[in-house]
């Protein structure tokens, strides 16, 4: 399919989604975050859903209403993943700040403090898993290690080392005795938790592995890699049972249905592939989001698929079977042509910043009336010490230097993502756009 046609199909299907969800008695979407949703999980009893976002927050919601029960702020960077304990009384969250936070699920709706704030990793944490008895959590970090953490009471246990690079995914067996991990070195490794040693390497893929799922009862391991490869592997022999290729588009998310019969893979182009795990066959394949899919989860009772991508909302796709919107033919209204400056803003700034007086739930402060404003002066925003004590003013020159040097060099110690704009023309166009848009 041509890219233009694919984009129109995505737009048409997403536009029709609200009516589809309503017809199935489900919420249209889950709103409230101010940035991309990086993690989605469902409580064991199916009455709550938790989402973790680039905006540093975790939102706990009632299901199926989707209404907010609590918004949790504790991370100092993007929150990447969240997991419930089996009794549903606590949650464990991890993020780019390398922190492991433990929360009670009952308490005030806002300004709730974590039960425990655990440290030990030296890099961002992408995933967290909790054992079936609720006593142990494991974390996958870009410092190349797997962290082990006690949950009752909360505290560090130790680190597993062996991966040759960042670790992206981790799964614990039901009794917490075995652990599976995967990373950019292209391997999936099996560990003995009590002995804190590697038992064997189950997979050597050749390309980085982003996500894994394990069903020990069925003797099956599933994984998705950066080359677009999706595999179902025999746990005992390590042999590939079924392989799916996806046009070399990175697989970024993986979910397992509650009945363990289906797997859902999300890729870098916004496409979801649903696989019948027992048959090893694709049952559904559809565009579900604009841009990369960072988070997937089967909704309670497997009636829906929850999809998080570049946008701040979680799309709710009814399943059994997937109810494709009727009448996908038709003309789309042509979108206005954006200037180069606006395109640069959408790519570099939109995720973290608003242009309105309200910062909303974004990782960064509003850019409203940016020029001439002292750095670190938006009331109510929790600035890093580097910005609070900077003593500089935002001007065309300082914005230019910010992107020419990169935040890590222009303002060392800030929370801003590491990024540069090496093209002087792009920086100039962005500044001209911001001069108009932030008035």
pLDDT digits (tens, 9 = 90+) for 251-293: 999 999 999 999 999 999 899 999 999 888 888 888 888 789 9
pLDDT at 247: 66
Calculate mean pLDDT across residues 166-185: 96
CA–CA separation, 51 and 81 (whole Å): 8
Calculate mean pLDDT across residues 237-252: 84
405 SS3 class = helix
Superfamily of domain 340-437: Cytochrome c-like domain (1.10.760.10)
CA–CA separation, 169 and 126 (whole Å): 7
Window from 148-152, 167-171, 302-306, 412-416 with minimum mean pLDDT: 412-416
Domain boundaries, given as residue ranges, for the chain: 3-318, 340-437
pLDDT digits (tens, 9 = 90+) for 353-395: 888 888 777 778 889 999 988 888 888 888 877 777 667 888 9
Single out the residue of 133, 284, 134, 126 nearest to residue 212, CA to CA. Answer: 126
pLDDT digits (tens, 9 = 90+) for 90-145: 999 999 999 999 999 999 988 899 999 999 999 999 999 999 999 999 999 999 99
CA–CA separation, 234 and 218 (whole Å): 9
Dump strand ranges (E) for 303-362.
304-308, 314-318
Same fold, 3-318 and 340-437: no
Domain 3-318 has CATH 2.130.10.10: yes
Tokens representing 94?
A: 């991890």
Tokens representing 375?
A: 């750095």
CA–CA separation, 221 and 234 (whole Å): 6
CA–CA separation, 393 and 176 (whole Å): 53
- Cis peptide, bond prior to residue 386, ω within 30 of zero: no
């Amino acid at each position: 399919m041509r890219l233009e046609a694919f984009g129109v199909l995505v737009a048409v299907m997403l536009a029709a989604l609200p009516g589809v969800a309503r017809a199935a008695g489900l919420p249209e979407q889950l709103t409230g975050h101010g940035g991309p949703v990086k993690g989605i999980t469902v409580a064991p009893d199916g009455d709550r859903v938790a989402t973790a976002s680039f905006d540093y927050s975790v939102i706990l919601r009632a299901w199926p209403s989707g209404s907010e029960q609590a918004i949790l702020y504790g991370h100092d960077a993007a929150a990447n993943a969240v997991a419930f304990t089996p009794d549903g009384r606590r949650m464990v969250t991890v993020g780019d700040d390398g922190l492991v936070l433990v929360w009670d699920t009952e308490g005030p709706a806002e300004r709730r403090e974590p039960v425990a704030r655990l440290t030990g990793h030296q890099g961002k944490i992408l995933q967290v898993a909790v054992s079936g008895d609720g006593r142990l959590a494991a974390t996958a970090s870009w410092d190349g290690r797997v962290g082990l953490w006690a949950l009752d009471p909360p505290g560090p246990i130790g680190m597993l080392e062996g991966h040759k690079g960042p670790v992206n995914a981790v799964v614990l067996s039901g009794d917490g005795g075995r652990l599976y991990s995967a990373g950019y070195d292209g391997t999936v490794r099996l560990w003995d938790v009590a002995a804190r040693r590697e038992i064997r390497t189950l997979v050597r893929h050749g390309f980085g592995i982003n996500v894994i799922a394990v069903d020990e009862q069925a003797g099956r391991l599933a994984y998705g890699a950066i080359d677009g490869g999706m595999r179902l592997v025999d746990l005992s022999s390590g042999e590939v049972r079924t392989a799916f290729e996806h046009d070399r588009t990175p697989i970024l998310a993986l979910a397992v249905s509650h009945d363990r019969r289906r797997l859902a893979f999300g890729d870098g182009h916004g496409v979801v592939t649903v696989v019948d795990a027992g048959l090893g066959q694709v049952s559904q394949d559809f565009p579900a989001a604009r841009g990369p899919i960072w988070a997937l989860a089967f909704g309670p009772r497997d009636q829906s698929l929850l999809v998080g991508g570049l946008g701040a909302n979680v799309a709710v796709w009814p399943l059994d079977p997937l109810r494709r919107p009727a009448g996908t033919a038709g003309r789309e209204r042509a979108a206005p042509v954006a200037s180069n400056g606006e395109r640069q803003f959408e790519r570099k700034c939109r995720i973290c910043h608003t242009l309105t007086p309200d910062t909303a739930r974004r990782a960064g402060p509003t850019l409203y009336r940016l020029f001439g404003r002292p750095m670190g002066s938006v009331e109510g925003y929790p600035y890093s010490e580097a910005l609070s004590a900077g003593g500089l003013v935002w001007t065309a020159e300082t914005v230019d230097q910010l992107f020419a040097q990169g935040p890590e060099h222009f303002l060392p110690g800030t929370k801003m993502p590491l990024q540069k704009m090496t093209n002087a023309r792009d920086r100039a166009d962005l500044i001209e756009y911001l001069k108009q848009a932030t008035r």
